[in-house]
Structure 1
Amino acid sequence: MPSPAAVIVGVGGLYVAQSVIGGVTFQGLPAVLRQTGASLNDIAFILLTVLPWSFKFLWAPWIERIRLPASGGNRSRLVVGAIGAVGVASLVAAAFTGPTMLGAVTTALVIGAFASATVDIACDGYAVESLAERHRGWGNAAQVAGAYLGSAIGGGAFLILIDYVGWRDATLVMAGVLAALGLPFLLGRSPLQPHRAGADRPSLGAALKRPEVRRGIALVGLYVLGQKWAMVLISPFLVDAGLSLTTIGLFNGFMGTAFGVLAALLGGWATRRYGAAPVMMASLLAQVAATAGFALAAALAWKSVYGLGALTVLNSGVMAFGFVALYAELMGRASLDQAGVDFTLFQCGDGLVSLIGWQLVGMFGDRLGFVWCFGLAAAIGLGAAAALPRLARPLSRT
């Protein structure tokens, strides 16, 4: 059985790698497109890359059956290596396509998102089955902190590189980073956690029969409703406020990451001490305040670089703080016999609710403007906070 440290280092690298693609897609590319004059509706087109993350539950049982064969054993490294190579190739293709060919670059990034989402199925399942409950806080911190570090690389360092070396070379660097981050998992010496022979075949039906999973999906949807809908607005808003790509990259990337990693560690500590529900509630209320701050900045045409940067960094930290608590609760609701399927359903709830909100922003953002969009997102967050206590209560055990 692998040591907890080996598991956390291995899956942490994969979580960072997955978020590099997400950072390039959701933070880097929107800023580049906005700088070239693209509308919010055009930018929303790239959100098609969320679809694999939203519907990966459809192929999660198949991936789990390959990863955990009925005869026993564990093929996690085989799945991660094969599918991860597709993700690297997709970024290479995007590098030579260029951001002006929106349809082609979106197709490449959709393929990359498909590969990343599939790797995530195997990665989450491996983490849940390999980490004892007392170590899951560190696993959750690695997941959330890894996501922020990956976003910093893909949405921060990537933008800075574009300013200096251009789209093609910057994207090729991201492909190389992606490959390097997978090596600790693929080359680690610790043996894989064996899967018990004769276990039931992983399936969606088995997952949805469990009340823990059904309530977990509802909890994810509610939480994302309050936390994520304004996220896609931030980079275009900063561009319109006159910030350069390098400045946005610094705030979204290095500063946001440092604060996000710190907030993730703080969230892990707070979750262990106070429980998941209070931490999620505190994060939602702080998110409402940050989003309302963006609405006020838009209404006052406030263009202070430091002020807008502080709001951006605060937004990163608040999300990291709360999502550690959310994932800690969801890990406890996943079955060890098909952890990849159960956890995938939770993440697909996240993706679907995010996609709905981001598409609405894309459709109506130019018409309503930043003030109304940020303001409505803050109001939705308040509603989610009011409903959170019911779904976040521990399940009664009989």
Structure 2
Amino acid sequence: MAVLSTGRVLGAVVGIYAAQSIVGGLVFQSVPAVLRQQGQPLGLIGLVWLLMLIHALKFLWSPAVESLRLRPDGTRHSRHIILSGQLATALLLAVLAMAGTDTVTLFAILALATIATATVDIACDAFAVEQLPRQARGWGNAMQVGGAYLGIMLGGGGFLIAVGRFGWEPAAMAIAACMVVFAIPLLLTPEPLGDAARQAAHRPSLRDALRRPAFRIGLLTVLAAQIALRIGYGMLGPFLIDRGFDLETLGWLTGLGGTLAGLAGTIVAATILAHHDVGRVLRLAVATQGVIFILLAAAAMTPDLPREALMALPLLLGFIAGASFVVLYSAMMGWATGPQPGVDYALLQSADAALAAIAGMSAGLLGQFIGIDACFVLAAALALVMAVLLPGLARRAERGA
């Protein structure tokens, strides 16, 4: 059975996740900021997070995608699924360029693009799990998260900068073109044959994943690790807009600056993971999230805080978010190394996405009715509590994987 070189896999992984994350950056960073500048209420902005429910539900069709991806003769069709989905998404982004910012049309097009990327995610994650050797998993996750940050930088901060300078249509056409460019490394990467006997004998199903106790503990670990970040991060853009930051400045700060900080976090986390237990590293990352959310809450309660201090906080949060994702995704890969990695990983990500949707909408309502500072206080408290629980959960899931 042919095996791809690790370097080639890492290059393809960067391109895959950069392309996938363009839509995420657009939906969850750019659109909330644009809507806020137009004077839309936080309650409406929070509805953007309903689109995350699509990612939360993708586990329902993951067995069908996995059955299409893994054929009984040993062939794998990950590339075909990924490239087809990314082309469809690029076309939708081109339509978005011409459609403008009418709220109903905007939500409809973004919903279709999110369905496409959620479906492609199943094949993306399976490709990464299958092609990355265990010893390269930490750096593979760094490339995965790094590529995702690159896509978020373009769909989030880069898009905001382009909108501020050139307008909506050129900005949307530019990110559609980026989607096509990022597909090239995978297009040039052949996919090795799988184990024909194993693929023919196994029928992908949700039941196969959920019947494993260790996998269920892994699901719980994902929720515990992500709940604070999902509640607090969603209010960062609206908070800075309310403090007088314009879209272009916000784009540079949370887009380029936050992305570079996140990339630094991925490198630091990958290095630490090579020498330390994943549960302990995850506890450190989540506890640090708690400290940063305490600082954000204090900033939200201090109207005359200098602008420079406000600008430092998103960078700190971006750094620790990048580190947290690398550690968590490394653990998730270990829990999804069975005969149906697409289904297993989709379930883990769906749990995170469901949490993000619920937390994002809840944060929007909290911000509207009792203040953004309350969101940051809640996020800080949850992070500090979960940091205590995470090492034990991660060890139990790892022992059963």
Write the mapping of 1:232-311 to structure 2, written as runs, cut at 5 A: 232-311=234-313
Superposed displacement of residue 82, structure 1: 1.6
Superposed displacement of residue 42, structure 1: 1.1
Aligned to 1:359: 361
Superposed displacement of residue 308, structure 1: 1.3
**Could you tell me which amino acid in structure 1 is paired with residue 196 of structure 2?**
R
Tell me if 1:61 matches 2:63. Answer: yes
CA deviation vs aligned residue, 1:47-77 (integer Å, no higher than 9, x gap): 2211211110001110011110122211111
Preserved contact between residue 24 and residue 154 of structure 1 (Cα < 8 Å) = yes
Partners of 2:205 and 2:272 in 1: how far apart? 34
Preserved contact between residue 243 and residue 305 of structure 1 (Cα < 8 Å) = no
SS in 2 for 1:80: helix
Change over 3 Å in CA distance of 1:97–1:292 after alignment to 2: same
Aligned to 1:194: 194
SS in 1 for 2:71: coil
Aligned to 1:137: 138
Change over 3 Å in CA distance of 1:82–1:396 after alignment to 2: closer
Tell me if 1:158 matches 2:163. Answer: no
Q: Which runs of 5 or more structure 2 residues have no equivalent in the other structure? A: none
Q: Given the two structures, how large is their TM-score scaled by the length of structure 1? A: 0.96
Partners of 1:321 and 1:51 in 2: how far apart? 25
Aligned counterpart for 1:50 among listed residues 49, 52, 70: 52
Superposed displacement of residue 194, structure 1: 2.5
Aligned counterpart for 2:74 among listed residues 64, 72, 80: 72
Superposed displacement of residue 118, structure 1: 1.2
Aligned to 1:182: 183
Write the mapping of 1:333-372 to structure 2, written as runs, cut at 5 A: 333-372=335-374
Partners of 2:128 and 2:5 in 1: how far apart? 12
Preserved contact between residue 230 and residue 291 of structure 1 (Cα < 8 Å) = yes
CA deviation vs aligned residue, 1:339-385 (integer Å, no higher than 9, x gap): 01101111011001111111111223211111212111211222222
Partners of 2:134 and 2:291 in 1: how far apart? 33
CA deviation vs aligned residue, 1:177-221 (integer Å, no higher than 9, x gap): 011111110222x44343424230111111111223211111101
Aligned to 1:171: 172
Partners of 2:377 and 2:205 in 1: how far apart? 41
Partners of 2:22 and 2:100 in 1: how far apart? 18
Partners of 2:219 and 2:318 in 1: how far apart? 23
Change over 3 Å in CA distance of 1:238–1:275 after alignment to 2: same
Q: Which moved more, 1:342-351 or 1:149-158?
A: 149-158
Tell me if 1:97 matches 2:109. Answer: no
- RMSD between aligned alpha carbons? 1.5
Aligned to 1:19: 21
Preserved contact between residue 140 and residue 324 of structure 1 (Cα < 8 Å) = yes
Aligned to 2:113: 112
**Could you tell me which amino acid in structure 1 is paired with residue 152 of structure 2?**
S
Runs of 4+ residues deviating >4 angstroms: none
Preserved contact between residue 128 and residue 336 of structure 1 (Cα < 8 Å) = no
Partners of 1:385 and 1:147 in 2: how far apart? 25
CA deviation vs aligned residue, 1:280-308 (integer Å, no higher than 9, x gap): 11111111111111111110114533211
Partners of 1:22 and 1:83 in 2: how far apart? 15
